[in-house]
Amino acid sequence: MEWQPDWGLRVRMFLTMFLLFALYIVFAGVITAYMGGGIVVFALLFGGMSLVQYYFSDTLTLKSMGATTVSADEYPQLHASVERLAQQADLPKPTVAVIDSNMPNAFATGRNQRNAAVAVTTGLMRTLDRDELDGVLAHELAHVKNRDMMVMTFASLLATIAFMVVRWGAFFGGRGRGGRGGGGVVVAILVSLVVWIISYILIRALSRYREYAADRGAAAITGRPAALASALAKISGEMEKVPTEDLREEAEMNAFFIIPLRSGIGRLFSTHPPTENRIEQLRELEREL
């Protein structure tokens, strides 16, 4: 298989970002009208801090997940696989990191293709054979190739600002023009809540599609869709066997994992499509080959 640009993913990314920008233009207008300049200053400050976080997203994400950057001397086979697959994907070799956890999982992070990192857990390396691990690594590299982390991180920053306005709007709104009577604060908070909910749904919808795209990308990189399908089946089965306290406390990172941690909120709000659907897509690709 040859790597083909996923125009379906690109169109969805463009539409999601366009809708989010349009939504936040309305959001900014309402907040300014009802809560005055104080909340705008807050949003700018928080946005600036978020952009700094985004710029150092690879380092901060690895640290927050307890991932340790490893050398080729420590994990020669892992490094060799990442380097080989990165070459096949026409990508710079990303930073390689390992998480000491029984939870079999992996994720990619970084703001662009030249500042990316791929992390795997020790549980994943114990669970999968070499071809299956290659499939998972190729899936994460496909996310890097598609620039998924950049789009998802930026979109999430906008949603986070709306959420923080909902949380702290009353405090800052009390200093604005609408804050004295209280009605303006209520309106602004309700608008922020609606914006956050719509953003949440848009981001989740994009996140589910990008998983299908990354699976197809992994199949193109390795030429072995069945290996990734086997890995997904193994991982989803093993996820139910590990202690609940393990990596599950990092459920907010679901969008970046190859298999999401169980959160109990249903498929509508899941960051990933059903695993069985992903496996069926990969089996169909295998049949085509």
- Give the chain's mean pLDDT: 80
Distances in Å between the Cα of 97 and the Cα atoms of 3, 93, 118, 155 are: 26, 12, 6, 25
CA distance 3 to 142: 10
Task: Give residue 245's pLDDT.
Answer: 45
Active-site hit among 140, 211, 238, 250: 140
Biggest alpha carbon–alpha carbon distance for the chain? 67
pLDDT tens per residue across span 29-67: 776 776 665 556 656 766 676 677 677 878 888 888 899
What mean pLDDT do residues 149-157 have? 74
Give the residue extent of every domain in the chain. 7-288
More confident residue, 95 or 255: 95
Judged by DSSP in three states, 114 sits in: coil
Is residue 276 part of the annotated active site? The answer reads: no
More confident residue, 288 or 271: 288
Assess whether pLDDT exceeds 60 at residue 237.
yes
What mean pLDDT do residues 232-257 have? 59
More confident residue, 66 or 28: 66
Task: Give residue 104's pLDDT.
Answer: 93
**269 DSSP assignment:** G
Confidence of residue 251 (pLDDT cuts 50, 70, 90): very low
CA distance 214 to 199: 22
Q: Is 289 exposed, middle or buried (0-12, 13-18, 19+ CB in 10 A)?
A: exposed
Assess whether pLDDT exceeds 90 at residue 95.
yes
pLDDT tens per residue across span 43-52: 676 667 667 7
Task: Give residue 195's pLDDT.
Answer: 80
Confidence of residue 241 (pLDDT cuts 50, 70, 90): low
Task: Give residue 248's pLDDT.
Answer: 42
